[in-house]
Amino acid sequence: MLSKVKTHYDNLKVSRNAPQEVIRAAYKVLSQKHHPDRNQDDPNASHIMKIINHAYETLSDPIKRREHDLWIEKQENDSALEINKHHEQQPTQGMQEDLKKKFGDEWVKANQEWVNRYQDRKNNKNQNSPPSKLDKFFEKIRAFISFCWGVIVWAVVFGIAGIFIYFQFFSNEKTGYSDKSITSEIPFIEEADTPQTLPHTGYTNKTGLIGVAPLQIKVSYGDNYWVKIVDSFNETEVASYFIRSGEILNVDLPLGSYKIRYAYGQNWFGEKKLFGKNTAYAQADEIMHFGFDGYSYNGYTIELISQVNGNLHTSGISQEQF
């Protein structure tokens, strides 16, 4: 019997061919049921929630889901091969009875003797027994095939060597070309960075993220922003969003506790270089908790705008900390 492989489908309690709508609905139900804010007496709630989040992150991404399906298939195939190998080495009594019914006791006995003799020779347990005529015949065939392969391999090697020598020496003499001719060195010029078209407000690197708790971020005029949402427990990125200068971002996040980090600048060079060498980095000092109070989902409204007596405290950070 094959041992069952534990998969992300099992963690979300969905079938392997479940569509994205079913996976999304299952995640929403399980995240509400097992979230640590609703299970404060359960010490395993945070661990269960991480498993649910990781399973949804994998199955909501088509590429990651395909890799996970291939991993499941490999695990099941390896388990099946191991069981088949065990059965081949140790035939059951039922298999012996089936052979007796089909071919008779004499055939089974003779076949078993041949198998035992083959295994003895394979394991070097019967080296002193003289080989049969059939064994000698097959040994000659194997020797002949090995000789033929050796001839073919050496012929190919010498053929390639001959072609190389011909083009290396004789062709140079015919054309008058010499490898010692002086060639000019072309200096390598590093391509300069070119600003890209600004993404629209709300552009994200996590298109499959499903959230329920609201987050609104307002930014001032002058700079564009790349806001990163980071899980406060394991420091992993949940999602990042682009906000154009002077505009407002409205998104929904999964329940959890997050750190808000952001980079800002004027010209956009893509998700790797962000706003180029003039990129500035900062983060909100407060950890923000997105939860459910039994009646509604709780979120935040943030204004990344310098204000007198503002209640949002931020600190500058390095690129590595971002």
- Which stretches of 60-178 are DSSP H helices? 62-89, 93-103, 105-122, 133-165, 171-175
Asked if residue 187 belongs to a domain, the reply is no
Do residue 310 and residue 228 come from a single domain? yes
Question: What are the structure tokens assigned to 9, written together?
Answer: 């489908």
More confident residue, 156 or 174: 156
Domain of 99 in residue numbering reads as: 93-122
Asked if residue 169 belongs to a domain, the reply is no
Cα gap 22→15, rounded to integer Å: 9
Cα gap 59→117, rounded to integer Å: 52
CA distances from 250 to 81, 146, 197, 231, 282 (A): 52, 72, 21, 19, 20
Cα gap 245→34, rounded to integer Å: 38
Distance of CA 123 to the CA centre of its chain: 42
Asked if residue 85 belongs to a domain, the reply is yes
Do residue 217 and residue 312 come from a single domain? yes
Burial of 59 (0-12, 13-18, 19+ CB in 10 A): buried
pLDDT at residue 188, rounded to an integer? 43
More confident residue, 188 or 37: 37
Do residue 117 and residue 25 come from a single domain? no
Do residue 13 and residue 103 come from a single domain? no
- Residue 14: closest CA among 46, 60, 50, 45: 60
Cα gap 322→297, rounded to integer Å: 28
Contact assessment for residue 234 and residue 54, using Cβ atoms and an 8 Å cutoff? no
What is residue 261's three-state secondary structure? strand
Of the candidates 48, 73, 89, which is a domain's last residue?
89
Do residue 29 and residue 110 come from a single domain? no
Of the candidates 45, 72, 89, which is a domain's last residue?
89
Do residue 84 and residue 102 come from a single domain? no
- Residue 200: closest CA among 238, 247, 265: 247
Asked if residue 284 belongs to a domain, the reply is yes
Asked if residue 266 belongs to a domain, the reply is yes
Asked if residue 152 belongs to a domain, the reply is no
Do residue 97 and residue 82 come from a single domain? no
Of the candidates 73, 104, 122, which is a domain's last residue?
122
pTM: 0.43
Average pLDDT estimate for 207-219? 93
Provide the mean pLDDT of the chain: 83
Cα gap 55→14, rounded to integer Å: 11
Do residue 218 and residue 309 come from a single domain? yes
pLDDT at residue 253, rounded to an integer? 94
Do residue 25 and residue 110 come from a single domain? no
Digit-coded pLDDT (tens) for 169-195: 765 555 554 444 444 444 444 445 789
Query: Can you give the CATH number for the domain in which 252 is found?
Result: 2.60.40
The answer, yes or no, to whether residue 306 has pLDDT greater than 70, is yes
- Picking from 104-108, 143-147, 206-210, which range would have the lowest pLDDT averaged per residue? 104-108
Angle, CA of 43, 48 and 54, to the nearest 5°: 145
Q: Which of 27-41, 186-200, 224-238 has the highest mean pLDDT?
A: 224-238
User: What's the number of domains the chain is made of?
Assistant: 3
Average pLDDT estimate for 240-252? 96
Phi, psi of 283, rounded to the nearest 5 degrees: -150, 155
Task: pLDDT band for 276, please (50, 70, 90 cuts).
Answer: very high
Do residue 235 and residue 308 come from a single domain? yes
Strand duo 300-304 + 213-219: pairing: parallel
Query: Can you give the CATH number for the domain in which 69 is found?
Result: 1.10.287.110
Asked if residue 202 belongs to a domain, the reply is no
Asked if residue 59 belongs to a domain, the reply is yes
Do residue 294 and residue 262 come from a single domain? yes
Digit-coded pLDDT (tens) for 91-127: 555 666 665 665 566 656 666 666 676 666 666 544 5
Question: What are the structure tokens assigned to 27, written together?
Answer: 């995640």
Do residue 46 and residue 78 come from a single domain? yes
Torsion of CA 280, 281, 286, 287, to 10 degrees: 150
Average pLDDT estimate for 300-316? 86
Question: What are the structure tokens assigned to 155, written together?
Answer: 């012929």
